[in-house]
């Protein structure tokens, strides 16, 4: 079954963590998908939406809809971007029937990466191997808006040599929240440090998540604390061989 997958890598991955996008593409190709990358892509509009600038968010959202209009599946290495598109585009286009219709048509095509693997491709074991002790961070939008909880854990359990240990605050927010991280920097930092303390207690050498923004926040805090724990996107773990 050769699903045609269009990658929406997100601006964070594009500019800061391209390896995540490459890993995602590699895994998708490995399981038999035909992968393309519409070059005209930029952003889903979430930063403007979360900051209260709905007009600007609409402009960028409209652009997104036009770039991916002909996609069969849009697969994204981020729960928050996926839910922005599949859940919140409707909120901002309430007064624009044409865009609202386009958003509703787009919504079922949009898939966060781990959900796509499990529910569309029907694959749990992608043939990955990584000898490491990791812990998993539940990204908020993925967890609560897309109900992604067991899926990534199922995928991780099939990675040969991988040991998954749960931290006691897996579901607690890492403190990123977009511009929240810089508008309320002290508070955001305190939230990150609470997560880090819990990670340290697990003895894991890496934190895995399905959202690069969370990983950026956590890794930034780890780096500042000079802790050797690394962060890996689920795609990078699954691409490991």
Residue among 42 and 150 whose Cβ is closer to another protein: 42
Minimum separation from the CB atom of position 154 to another protein (A): 20
Q: How far apart are CA 78 and CA 167, in angstroms?
A: 21
For residue 143, the 8-state DSSP code is: I
Torsion of CA 180, 186, 191, 192, to 10 degrees: 90
Residue among 110 and 123 whose Cβ is closer to another protein: 110
DSSP string, 83-128: HIIIIIHHHHTTT-HHHHHHHHHHGGGEEEHHHIIIIIS--S----
CB atoms within 10 A of CB 78: 29
3-state SS class at 208 = strand
Minimum separation from the CB atom of position 51 to another protein (A): 7
Minimum separation from the CB atom of position 6 to another protein (A): 12
Minimum separation from the CB atom of position 233 to another protein (A): 13
Minimum separation from the CB atom of position 213 to another protein (A): 11
Residue among 16 and 125 whose Cβ is closer to another protein: 16
Q: How far apart are CA 135 and CA 170, in angstroms?
A: 9
Residue among 54 and 158 whose Cβ is closer to another protein: 54
What residues make contact with another protein under the rule CB under 8 A? 9, 13-19, 21-22, 25, 37, 39-43, 45, 47-57, 59-60, 63, 91, 140-141, 143-145, 171-173, 175-192, 194, 216-217, 219-221, 223-224
Residue among 104 and 183 whose Cβ is closer to another protein: 183
Q: How far apart are CA 28 and CA 117, in angstroms?
A: 8
């Amino acid at each position: 079954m050769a699903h045609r997958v269009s990658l929406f890598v997100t601006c964070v991955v594009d500019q800061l963590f391209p390896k995540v996008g490459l890993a995602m593409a590699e895994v998708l190709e490995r399981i038999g998908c035909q992968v393309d990358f519409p070059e005209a892509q930029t952003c889903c509009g979430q930063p403007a939406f979360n900051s209260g600038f709905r007009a600007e968010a609409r402009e960028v959202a409209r652009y997104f809809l036009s770039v991916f209009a002909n996609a069969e599946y849009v697969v994204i290495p981020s729960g928050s971007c996926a839910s922005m598109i599949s859940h919140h585009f409707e909120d901002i286009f309430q007064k624009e029937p044409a865009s609202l219709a386009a958003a509703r048509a787009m919504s079922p095509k949009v898939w966060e990466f781990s959900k796509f693997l499990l529910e569309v491709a029907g694959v749990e074991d992608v043939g990955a191997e990584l000898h490491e002790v990791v812990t998993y961070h539940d990204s908020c939008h993925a967890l609560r808006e897309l109900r992604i909880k067991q899926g990534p854990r199922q995928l991780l359990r099939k990675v040969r040599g991988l040991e998954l240990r749960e931290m006691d605050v897996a579901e607690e927010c890492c403190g990123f929240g977009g511009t929240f991280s810089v508008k309320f920097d002290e508070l955001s930092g305190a939230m990150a440090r609470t997560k880090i303390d819990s990670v340290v207690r697990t003895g894991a050498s890496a934190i895995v998540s399905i959202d690069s923004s969370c990983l950026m926040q956590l890794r930034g805090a780890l780096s500042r604390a000079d802790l050797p724990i690394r962060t890996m996107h689920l795609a990078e773990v699954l691409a490991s061989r």
